[in-house]
Structure 1
Amino acid sequence: MKWFAPIPLSIKLPLLAATMMVLVGTVASHQVLQSLAQVQDARIRELARMHVEGLSVALGPLVLRRDIWEVYDTLDRASQGVGGRRMVLTAVADERGKILAATDPRRVPMDSDIAALADDAVALDNLTVDGASPVLSLLAPLTYQGRIVGQIATELDVADLLSERRKALLFLILGNAIATGLLSVAGFFAIRKMLQPITTLARQMTETKGEPHPIPISDIPRGDGELARLARTYNSMVGAVLAKAEAERRLAERERFVALGRLSSSLAHEINNPLGGLLNATDTIRSYPDRPEVVRKSADLIDRGLRHLRDVTRATLDQNRIDPEARALTPDDFEDIKLLIQPEISRLALDLEWSVEPTSVTECSLSAGPVRQIALNLLLNACSAAGQNGCVRLMALTRNGNLTLQIMNTGAAMPQAALDRLLEDGPLLPGGGVGLRLVRDLITKLGGAISHSHENGVTCVAVSLPISWESADAEE
């Protein structure tokens, strides 16, 4: 039945209904034919019994007297009657089994043994129209006044009964075929109509391309039946999923803006300090234009300040470029991340430990944008958790074909709400951490894994990413 499983339900149920109709028609036809056979058997037995009993009454005295001519005359008159037309042959024998007379003397001569006719003969109670032969043979005792005085052998023509049975079978087959065909077609369309909500539901669930759509109100059955409730429940689930996705999108957007706000404020502070120095240098040049050594030192200070501003601006642009996934990850991306979090490190007087293996990063074919976003968000949270005068550490290396990022910080353990955002896919609760759900979504998209531990006052978040996103996708 494996071939039957892939068939759609809208085809499978009508086929099952048609099969049941055929089975019911077959059983009904068998019962009709069996009843017809029983009626025919009863008719032929009754006719044979009347024939034998009538001959017994008429032939009993003649057989005892061995009046052969009278026996023959009686048989001849009996064969001319209405019932006798079915009797193809009738022969009468005495007690010794010797033929006294027969309706066909040429075939059954006088004084021949009746046993020659008894080879295929059956008793009266066993007489049945079995369809094997159009002629039935009957052998019955000839009884007169309670005494068996001879035997009667009779052959009955049942060709008309067999023809009647064949016609009944033909009519049943044609009638059942027509009725089954009409009912099957009607049942097919009726069941297809009843299963239309299921078909619509399956189409909505399989052809949405990742975004579920509700079933139109016009396609929902009327009333409060099971299919109507199923369609309404599905629409409710779709609404809940869409609402959840929208809430997560707004929350992720809010977290992104929070992270950008914190980063922007730190960068503004980082840019403002060099600007003050640059303005002082320009004032010095204006004040001492005639002192070349002062002008040279001020120009060097201006050059260093402008280069620092250029690096900060470039790192910020790379972090927020429109197509962040178009460029492969390089060691310079980690230098940009270090530069971006430096204001936060300075503001909180944190001790930063930075360990990046350039060779490991160069071997990766990961997109720069997602990796930068993951590292920056985790580092911002680590800085916030470490607090004033804490310690933050980043390690980047390759292990077993994966790029491993380890972000560690001292301070309190990560709250449960933040852990839920970072490690689980369930609904988002108030609280948590900046960008943690975004981090999890990015890691999942890259086919990676994330783990968390807190021991001896140190929190460690480890991210493992396949060094080639294309190969990871092929393995899946």
Structure 2
Amino acid sequence: MKPLRRFRTLPVTLRVPLITAALMIILGLVASQSVLSALGRVQEARLSETAKLHIEGLSVALGPSVLRQDVWEVYDILDRARAGNEGQRLLLTVVADERGRVLAATDPRRAPVGAAAADFETGAVGPEAVRMTGDPVLRVTALLQYQGRTIGAIVTELDVTDLLAERRNVTLWLLFGNAMATVVLAFGGWLAVARILRPVGALVQAMDASGGAPRPIPETEIPQGDPGLARLIATYNQMTTAVEERAEAERRLADRERFVSLGRLSSSLAHEVNNPLGGLLNAADTIHTYADRPEVVRQSAELMQRGLGHLRDVTRAILDQNRLDRAGQRLRPEDFEDLRLLFEPEAHSRSQLLDWQVQAGAGALSGHPAAPVRQVALNLLLNAGVAAGMHGRVGFAVSNGGETLSISVSNTGAAMTEADLARLMASGPLPPGGGVGLRLVHDIVTGLGGRLSHDRKGEQTVIRADLPAHGSDHA
């Protein structure tokens, strides 16, 4: 399975030539086996015919001499037979009498007269059963019959070295030819596939070189001769246009989301400012009416001082949140106090319980940039406040664990939808519907090298952002 899985990961320009080469190898093996089988049948037929003619001729010529036990006549007949057309293939011929003793042989030193003929019959077969076994010497045996009776036997050794060499040469030529054909066809397949997929390669290069922003392929690089690939590239060009339009729409949505957030905060802050102003006007009217009563004037002045102090705190928070020169500021504990002052009116308007815990000191906060961290915390708080609903509970906690600053925002209420989770946790295209506040949190945390996590515990949703420290220079 692993080789197959690795093969599937290879590019098409390699897989097609490899498949072609494999098919050629299989075809070559089948064709070579067929050729070698046919050659073997031809060789075996020639050998069988040679052995049959040799033994039948000897049987006719040797019958009377063997019957008379005329050794010298048998020798003479064997010499004349050996000098025939196939004499170079006959290594040894042994003639035995009816007792199984050697009567004569073409090589008397190997087969002396009177020796047992059974020693030469080992592995011998009849002329019709001769087969190529890979042995350079084959033995053929047959009974010697004369006038209807068996008077002895003939054993012949045949030299088939030349036939084996012929078979070996044919095998080498077949291997060489098949290898050359396989290489040529595989190379041709690679060229053909590479040429066919050249437009696809241009498409891949355009996507790789885009740096996250797909660029269209020029019309001159679209293959007009291939309608399928031309349609594919045209579709890709349309997709790039759609991606650019979608990115522009996302930027506009982000701007709109920021304005909506500012509008919500402005409404809450207007309510927060309006109440102290009403009290200040009442205190001023009381002082004007009871100017001759020092105790009343003093109490009204104290009320005015508390109201003006509250207005001062609200105004400072607004200035700190929207001041343009905060881009290079380091994070401070006061930043979270300002966020609390900004968010509390939102929570009070829904009668929500706010649990606020900041356990990180100034030293741990100074390694983080103020503006993006505040933006992340504010967006998470605003979304948590909406999700908690009336009489819900919102939690905000900041802690420091070594080199990591953890911001955790929790809320009761319904769980986050799949679309909201996709906006917060993923980097793909924005799902339809909704704003981009959660995606903005994702982009800021990712840009800072941090990590977001989401957890649902009972009826409480917890979102945590872990931000690594970058040092005061980076901040």
Query: TM exceeds 0.5?
Result: yes
Residue of structure 2 equivalent to 1:405: 409
Is the 1:423–1:440 Cα contact (8 Å) retained in structure 2?
no
TM-score by length of 2: 0.69
Deviation at 1:126, TM superposition (A): 3.5
- Give the letter for the 2:95 counterpart: V
Cα distance between partner residues in 1 of 2:98 and 2:179: 56
Is the 2:96–2:104 Cα contact (8 Å) retained in structure 1?
yes
1:12-31 equivalences under 5 Å are: 12-31=15-34
- Give the letter for the 2:262 counterpart: L
Cα 1:377/1:62, change in 2 over 3 Å: closer
Superposition CA RMSD, Å: 5.1
Structure 1: gaps of 5 or more residues = 282-296, 456-460, 472-476
TM-score by length of 1: 0.69
1:1-400 equivalences under 5 Å are: 2=2, 8-9=10-11, 10-133=13-136, 135-196=137-198, 209-211=211-213, 218=221, 222-223=225-226, 243-263=245-265, 312=315, 315-319=318-322, 321=324, 324=327, 327-328=330-331, 330-340=332-342, 355-360=355-360, 367-377=369-379, 395-398=395-398
Is the 2:387–2:411 Cα contact (8 Å) retained in structure 1?
no
Cα distance between partner residues in 2 of 1:386 and 1:141: 111
Deviation at 1:127, TM superposition (A): 2.3
- Give the letter for the 1:85 counterpart: Q
Is the 1:66–1:100 Cα contact (8 Å) retained in structure 2?
yes
Structure 2: gaps of 5 or more residues = 285-299, 424-428, 471-475
Cα 1:35/1:214, change in 2 over 3 Å: farther
Cα 1:97/1:453, change in 2 over 3 Å: closer
Residue of structure 1 equivalent to 2:296: none
Equivalent residue pairs, number? 435
Deviation at 1:139, TM superposition (A): 1.9
Is the 1:361–1:397 Cα contact (8 Å) retained in structure 2?
no
- Give the letter for the 1:113 counterpart: A
Cα distance between partner residues in 2 of 1:110 and 1:199: 84
1:438-453 equivalences under 5 Å are: 438-439=440-441, 446-449=450-453
**Larger displacement relative to structure 2 (84-93 or 193-202):** 193-202
Cα distance between partner residues in 1 of 2:387 and 2:374: 20
Counterpart of 2:111 in 1: which secondary structure? coil
- Give the letter for the 2:374 counterpart: R
Deviation at 1:141, TM superposition (A): 0.8
Cα 1:73/1:375, change in 2 over 3 Å: closer
Cα distance between partner residues in 2 of 1:219 and 1:449: 45
Residue of structure 2 equivalent to 1:287: none
Counterpart of 2:145 in 1: which secondary structure? strand
